[in-house]
């Protein structure tokens, strides 16, 4: 079983459209949507949720007012002004340091685990999908990404699937590191702009740091031939294989609106290009 992550360094390069297309082309795969802050792979895969679980992360103080003697120590100690006048706790301000809980002479403050999101196991027309939703303003998306990856791998092993195809997190922070670690290949999807090259370079450096094999695809390459050429030159200089150049195609938007992946959509001129990219991924993965 091989693990492939599709990443971009930033949003809006066509990463999720590419992940959907590869999910349609791969036979016997499990998908993982690791873009947990703004998950949208489900829009293409139309999952039918089979399992729903709470994601717990971090703790918040909670006062049992029936035990509180009103000594005021917690209010004096809290550096985040999270203790209200009646000694209840404001959960938004509480940073979960537990100082008040240790200090309370009445033992009235308990630290409670936060429910900061949900994760799901679903059926799709291409195979199982593990996906998640992080609560608004919640943190620890790296931990949730790691959980989604772990579950997808477990299902793939149980089903004897050939591939885990991962829609990676954007950026270069903790979530993308959790998306990348231990995969067999990272496919970087970029666009022919200076910022596209800059963002791709940053995420490629992260992937290389973790020893991940990287290949690259230039999406909408014909919108700027000069910049596409510079990205190809960058690839040559950095030992990265550029395994595909996808032309701009307005029908991709129509496909997305209809909830279809590129291989399923009749009338798109990039179907063959995407199939060739999938063939090259299979040929190059170690
Ligand atoms: S430290 Fe404990 S007893 Fe004192 S005010 Fe706070 S919750 Fe109440
Ligand atoms: S856990 Fe820390 S941040 Fe939260 S109320 Fe207690 S002292 Fe303040």
Q: Quick check: is 120 in a domain? A: no
The verdict on the CB of residue 243 being under 6 Å from ligand 2 is no
pLDDT at 213: 95
Tell me which of 115, 135, 163 is where a domain ends: 115
**Residue 276 lies in domain:** 2-46+125-284
The confidence score (pLDDT) of residue 148 equals 94
Residue nearest to atom 8 of ligand 1 (CA): 68
How many of the other CB atoms lie within 10 Å of CB of 192?
A: 23
Q: What is the pLDDT of residues 26-37, one digit of tens each?
A: 988 999 999 877
Predicted pLDDT of residue 139: 63
Output the residue whose Cα is nearest ligand 2's atom 4. Answer: 94
Q: What is the mean pLDDT of the chain?
A: 92
Q: Is the CB of 61 under 6 A from ligand 2?
A: yes
185 pLDDT more than 90:
yes
Task: Examine the domain organization and report whether 156 and 258 are in the same domain.
Answer: yes
Under 8 Å between Cβ of 131 and 42 = yes
Distance 246 CA to ligand 2 centre (A): 52
Nearest bound ligand to the CA of residue 105 = 1
Q: Which ligand is nearest to the CA of 66?
A: 1
Radius of gyration over every alpha carbon of the chain, rounded to an integer in angstroms: 23
3-state secondary structure (DSSP) of residue 103 = helix
Instruction: Read off the pLDDT of residues 62-104 as tens digits, 9 standing for 90 and up.
Output: 999 999 999 999 999 999 999 999 999 999 899 999 999 999 9
Proximal ligand: closest to the CA of 101: 2
Ligand 1 touching residue 101 (CB < 6 A): no
Whether 108 is in the pocket of ligand 2, judged by its Cβ within 6 Å, is no
d(CA 124, CA 12): 24
For residues 15 and 153, membership in a common domain is answered with yes
Which residue in 113, 112, 100, 98 sits closest to 68, CA to CA? 100
Please tell me the residue having the least CA distance from ligand 1 atom 4.
71
| Rounded Cα distance, 139 and 162, in Å | 32
Closest residue (by CA) to atom 2 of ligand 2?
Answer: 97
pLDDT value for 140: 59
Instruction: Say if 52 falls within a structural domain.
Output: no
Q: 242-280 pLDDT, tens per residue?
A: 999 999 998 888 898 899 999 998 878 899 999 999 999
Both 179 and 88 in one domain: the answer is no
Instruction: Tell whether 145 and 23 lie within a shared domain.
Output: yes
Is there an atom of ligand 1 within 6 Å of 274 CB?
Answer: no
Domain-embedded: residue 152: yes
Beta strands in the chain (DSSP E): 2-7, 29-33, 48-63, 109-124, 127-134, 163-167, 185-190, 214-219, 241-246
Query: pLDDT tens digits, residue range 37-72?
Result: 777 888 899 999 999 999 988 899 999 999 999 999
Q: Which ligand is nearest to the CA of 63?
A: 1
Q: What percent of the chain has pLDDT over 70?
A: 98
CATH of the domain at 111: 3.30.70.20
User: What atom of ligand 2 comes closest to residue 83's alpha carbon?
Assistant: 5
Query: What is the domain count for the chain?
Result: 2
Q: Which CATH number is 213's domain given?
A: 3.40.50.300
């Amino acid at each position: 079983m091989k693990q492939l992550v599709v990443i971009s360094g930033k949003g809006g390069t066509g990463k999720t459209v590419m992940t959907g297309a590869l999910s349609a082309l791969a036979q016997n795969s499990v998908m993982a949507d690791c873009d947990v802050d703004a998950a949208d792979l489900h829009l293409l895969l139309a999952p039918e949720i089979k399992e729903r679980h709470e994601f717990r992360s971090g703790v918040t103080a909670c006062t049992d007012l029936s035990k509180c003697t009103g000594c005021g120590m917690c209010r004096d100690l809290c550096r985040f002004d999270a203790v209200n006048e009646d000694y209840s706790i404001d959960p938004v301000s509480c940073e979960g340091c537990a100082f008040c809980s240790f200090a309370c002479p009445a033992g009235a403050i308990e630290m409670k685990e936060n429910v900061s999101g949900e994760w799901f196991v679903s059926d799709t027309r291409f195979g199982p999908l593990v996906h998640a939703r992080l609560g608004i303003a919640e943190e620890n998306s790296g931990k949730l990404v790691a959980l989604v990856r772990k579950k997808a791998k477990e299902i793939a092993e149980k089903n004897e699937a050939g591939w885990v195809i991962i829609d990676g997190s954007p950026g270069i922070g903790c979530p993308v590191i959790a998306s990348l670690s231990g995969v067999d290949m990272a496919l970087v999807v970029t666009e022919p702009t200076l910022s596209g090259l800059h963002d791709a370079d940053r995420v490629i450096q992260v992937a290389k740091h973790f020893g991940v094999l990287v290949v690259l695809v230039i999406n909408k390459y014909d919108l700027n031939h000069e910049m596409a050429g510079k990205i190809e030159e960058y690839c040559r200089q950095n030992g990265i294989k550029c395994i595909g150049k996808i032309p701009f195609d307005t029908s991709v938007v129509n496909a997305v609106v209809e909830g279809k992946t590129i291989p399923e959509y009749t009338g798109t001129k990039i179907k063959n290009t995407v199939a060739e990219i999938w063939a090259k991924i299979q040929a190059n993965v170690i």
